[in-house]
Amino acid sequence: MRGRLWSILQVALGAGIAYWLAMSVLGHVQPFFAPITVVIVLGLSGGERINKAMEMALGCVVGVLVGDLMFLGAGSGGWQIAVAVAVALVVASFLSKSTLVSNQVAIGSILIVTIMPPGGESTGVDRTLDAIVGSAVAMIIIALLPTSPLAAGRREASKVLSMVSSVLDDVADGLRGGEERLVEEALIAARGSQKQINSMAAAARSGAESTRISPLLWSRRRNVRHLERVVAPADNAIRNARVLARRALVLVQDQDYASVTEQQLALLDELSEIALTLSDVYAGRDQLDEAIEIPDLVNQLRSLGARSGIEAAGEDPVLSSYAVLAQTRSIITDLLEVCGMSRESAVAVLAPTSETPAFPPEVRED
């Protein structure tokens, strides 16, 4: 809620400043393009506001020029708008593949032949300058009144890790009792995780963009880079959990769930707890707690890696129980990467299943 209120303040302040600049400093009569541009640019997310601001200004310029050139003295009406939009979109398609550019070109030409037709008090140059002013004000607002570059990203990473924990916990319980419904619900939840994954990646990009734009956030660049490195392994963890849940469902449906050993179930239980703790770490704000928790979690994961050898599948496994073990091992390495390990170091903690492992194993002996 606090972040939402701050965003509202940014947009309101930016719109007011842009309107005042265009009217009082540039002397424009109806500078509505200026606050509109601010609202659109500041409302964007995903680390693309700089590019979008440029696209917004380009779309507005082209839309204004198309409208002014085509409809000077032609008046307004249904056929004029139809032709204006068609020509504007054709022109925009040659300039950029961006949907924002195309939409803004079309909207600009429509506004000119309806609300602000050629020959009025506000000229095409005025409207172009208004869009540029709005884009500039939006960038200044982002630089001088930035949102936290870490809060949203950490919050979204926490949600993804919490989902990993929930899926693993439900799968373990479902396999333990042969409960098909429980495993199926876990699989459905994992399949519906793409929105959270996209939100996490977009929040990380936005944080990185904010630290590039705002001098006030330059000291946070290292933290943001760490958050960006978390995105890929957290994404991999939920994807691997999804595959694990799918294979677990096959085990239950085939009535082979009893082939999953207690050791495998214990690995899933502990992995679920570790993912939940990581979720809590990323949801919190106390860096001291994080510095204490992460080394403990790494040690726990190293212990799981040492116990996840091929023998964990038992003496009489079926193919799907091997698959569950393989995905368990993958999630162990994913969570180690979330904790800050490199891929090579994370893989090295696993008990080797090959005589020629790509990375020399560094298995921890309990």
**What does the pLDDT look like over 304-323, one tens digit per residue?**
999 999 999 888 889 999 99
Structural domain contains residue 359 = no
The DSSP secondary-structure symbol of 145 reads S
Comparing 1-10, 177-186, 261-270, 309-318, the range with the smallest average pLDDT is 1-10
Structural domain contains residue 170 = yes
Q: Which domain holds residue 342?
A: 151-348
Comparing 1-15, 69-83, 218-232, 297-311, the range with the smallest average pLDDT is 69-83
Does residue 74 share a domain with residue 170?
no
CATH code of 334's domain: 1.20.58
Residue among 51, 63, 69, 276 nearest 160 (CA): 276
pLDDT reading at 283 higher than 50: yes
Q: What are the tokens at 54?
A: 């440029």
CB of 58 within 8 A of CB of 101? yes
Does residue 95 share a domain with residue 31?
yes
pLDDT reading at 45 higher than 90: no
Q: For all residues of the chain together, what is the average pLDDT?
A: 82
Helices (H) and strands (E) in the chain, counts: 14, 0
Q: What is the pLDDT of residue 44?
A: 66
pLDDT in tens, 134-162: 888 888 887 887 777 677 788 888 899 99
Last residue of a domain, one of 91, 123, 144: 144
Q: What are the tokens at 324?
A: 């569950």
Does residue 162 share a domain with residue 111?
no
More confident residue, 46 or 226: 226
Tokens 């890790």 belong to residue? 161
Q: What is the pLDDT of residue 288?
A: 45
**pLDDT classification of 199: cutoffs 50, 70, 90:** confident
d(CA 75, CA 61): 20
**pLDDT classification of 263: cutoffs 50, 70, 90:** very high
CB of 183 within 8 A of CB of 252? yes
Does residue 184 share a domain with residue 207?
yes
Comparing 110-114, 123-127, 342-346, the range with the smallest average pLDDT is 123-127
Tokens 């000077």 belong to residue? 72
Written as one letter, the residue type at 123 is T
d(CA 143, CA 48): 14
pLDDT in tens, 156-190: 888 999 999 999 999 999 999 899 999 999 999 99
Does residue 93 share a domain with residue 54?
yes
d(CA 11, CA 319): 56
d(CA 268, CA 144): 46
Q: Can you give the pTM of this predicted structure?
A: 0.76
Per cent of the chain over pLDDT 70 is 86
d(CA 282, CA 136): 34
Q: What is the dihedral of CA 283, 284, 287, 291, to 10 degrees?
A: -70
pLDDT in tens, 317-352: 899 999 999 999 999 999 999 998 999 999 999 988
Q: What is the pLDDT of residue 72?
A: 59
Q: State which of 46-60, 65-79, 218-232, 287-301 shows the largest mean pLDDT.
A: 218-232
Does residue 173 share a domain with residue 120?
no
Domain count, the chain: 2
Does residue 34 share a domain with residue 162?
no
Structural domain contains residue 261 = yes
More confident residue, 152 or 229: 229
Q: What is the pLDDT of residue 217?
A: 75
Q: What is the pLDDT of residue 164?
A: 95
Does residue 329 share a domain with residue 197?
yes
Q: What are the tokens at 124?
A: 């095409």
Structural domain contains residue 295 = yes
Written as one letter, the residue type at 117 is P
pLDDT reading at 287 higher than 60: no
Q: What is the pLDDT of residue 116?
A: 59
Last residue of a domain, one of 144, 164, 182: 144
Comparing 9-18, 34-43, 95-104, 299-308, the range with the smallest average pLDDT is 95-104
